[in-house]
């Protein structure tokens, strides 16, 4: 089992640029979650999908953030335009039965916006 795969592991970009983070969930998992982790705010849920459909995006901070899940094996989180305050570690997680039994996190993407 390869686990949840995120790419890139590290991303440094200039303010105003578009950033796309990618996630491949564990095969067979039907729920996918995007979290953001910062020192100030801890782990925050941004959005989650069930069977590729967005269920709750109330955690997405602004219209600059968007997420898609075109199929069961791929999801993206896009920030356009990026700002320095978007700097954080972004985690993707997946679960086989909604998320109520807990989920498996990827290793994260550390985003730095300069």
Partner 1 sequence: GQQLNQSPQSMFIQEGEDVSMNCTSSSIFNTWLWYKQDPGEGPVLLIALYKAGELTSNGRLTAQFGITRKDSFLNISASIPSDVGIYFCAGSTDSWGKFQFGAGTQVVVTP
User: Which residues would be at the binding site for partner 1 (CB under 8 A)?
Assistant: 4, 31, 33, 41-45, 48, 50, 55-56, 91, 93, 95, 98-108
Query: At closest approach, how far in Å is the CB of 58 from partner 1?
Result: 9
Residues listed for the chain? 114
Query: At closest approach, how far in Å is the CB of 70 from partner 1?
Result: 20
CB nearer partner 1, residue 65 or residue 108: 108
> What is the rounded CA–CA span in Å between residue 98 and residue 33?
10
Query: At closest approach, how far in Å is the CB of 16 from partner 1?
Result: 27
Question: Are β-strands 19-24 and 74-79 bridged in parallel, bridged antiparallel, or unpaired?
Answer: antiparallel
CB nearer partner 1, residue 55 or residue 72: 55
CB nearer partner 1, residue 2 or residue 100: 100
Contacts of 82 (CB under 8 A, 6+ apart): 13, 14, 15, 16, 17, 18, 19, 64, 111, 113
SS (H, E, C) 31-52: EEEEEEEECCCEEEEEEEEECC
CB nearer partner 1, residue 82 or residue 109: 109
Query: At closest approach, how far in Å is the CB of 91 from partner 1?
Result: 5
């Amino acid at each position: 089992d390869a686990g949840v795969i995120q790419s890139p592991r590290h991303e440094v970009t200039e303010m105003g640029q578009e950033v796309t983070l990618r996630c491949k969930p564990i095969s067979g998992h039907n729920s996918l979650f995007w979290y953001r982790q910062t020192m100030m705010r801890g782990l925050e849920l941004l959005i989650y999908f069930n069977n590729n459909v967005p269920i709750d995006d109330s955690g997405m901070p602004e219209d600059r953030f968007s997420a898609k899940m075109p199929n069961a094996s791929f999801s993206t989180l896009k920030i356009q335009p990026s700002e320095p305050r978007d700097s954080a570690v972004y985690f993707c997680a997946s679960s086989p039965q909604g998320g109520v039994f807990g989920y498996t996190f990827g290793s994260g993407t550390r985003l730095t916006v300069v």
